[in-house]
Amino acid sequence: MDEKQIPSLAEIHIASRHLRAISVPNTPILTNTSLNRLTGKNLYLKCENFQRTGSFKIRGALNVILNAMKIDSNLKGFVTYSSGNHGIAVSYAASLVQRPCVIVISDDTPKHIIMAIKQYGAEIITCKSLSSLYQDICSQISKEREFFLVPKSDHPDVIAGNKISIFSKYLFID
């Protein structure tokens, strides 16, 4: 990733406003005396497991989808590839904006992940666990159905949304 792709503090604040507007829950920052003693440090635990989807990934996925909808409110749907929390997050985010969603997963994805993706209404397409196939299948679905391809972790909108969870303690933006 080059420096131009790293979101600015202003973009992170915009992402924070997006997520607050759609009621992404604030999550606590906790400490643990036992861990602090064990490590000799003051550790802070950002409890993103309290998110509706079980991880911080909802912040990045939702920020991408809301930004895409702002650019084109008539988007037909969304597609991404993930055999984990990103797939769950995109499925949930698409359900919030009431659009169809396709998640391309590997054939060895754990059942609990599949169930979590399905509970938000996404269609699942399974392929062999070769990462080069994921992108090709998503690109094909994106073209055929005119769906927006939601990027994974290296997109500035994903990063801006995800950064909110780590900056919130210091910037009070959560």
CA distance 93 to 133: 24
CA distance 92 to 157: 17
Helix (H, G, I), strand (E, B) or coil at 152: coil
Q: pTM score, two decimals?
A: 0.83
Q: For this structure, is 46 an active site residue? A: no
Strand order from edge to edge, sheet including 101-106: 123-127, 101-106, 78-81, 148-149
**Torsion of the alpha carbons at 72, 73, 78 and 82, rounded to the nearest 10:** 80
Q: What percent of the chain has pLDDT over 70?
A: 86
**Radius of gyration of the chain measured on its C-alpha atoms:** 17
H-run or E-run covering 132: helix 131-145
Beta bridge partners, 126, equal 105
Mean pLDDT of 137-150: 96
Q: Kindly report, residue by residue over 21-42, the tens digit of the pLDDT.
A: 666 777 888 999 999 999 999 9
The topology (CATH level 3) of 3-171 is: Rossmann fold (3.40.50)
CA distance 116 to 19: 21
With a cut of 50, say whether residue 173 has pLDDT above it: no
Q: For this structure, is 142 an active site residue? A: no
The one catalytic residue among 16, 55, 57, 165: 57
Beta bridge partners, 124, equal 103
What is the 3-state composition of the chain as percent helix, strand, coil, each rounded to the nearest 5?
A: 55, 10, 35
The one catalytic residue among 16, 55, 82, 83: 83
Q: Kindly report, residue by residue over 69-107, the tens digit of the pLDDT.
A: 999 999 999 999 998 999 999 999 999 999 999 999 999
Nearest by Cα to 87 from 103, 74, 66? 103
pLDDT at 160: 79
Which tokens belong to 52? 């509706």
The domain segmentation of the chain, as residue ranges, is 3-171
Mean pLDDT of 153-169: 71
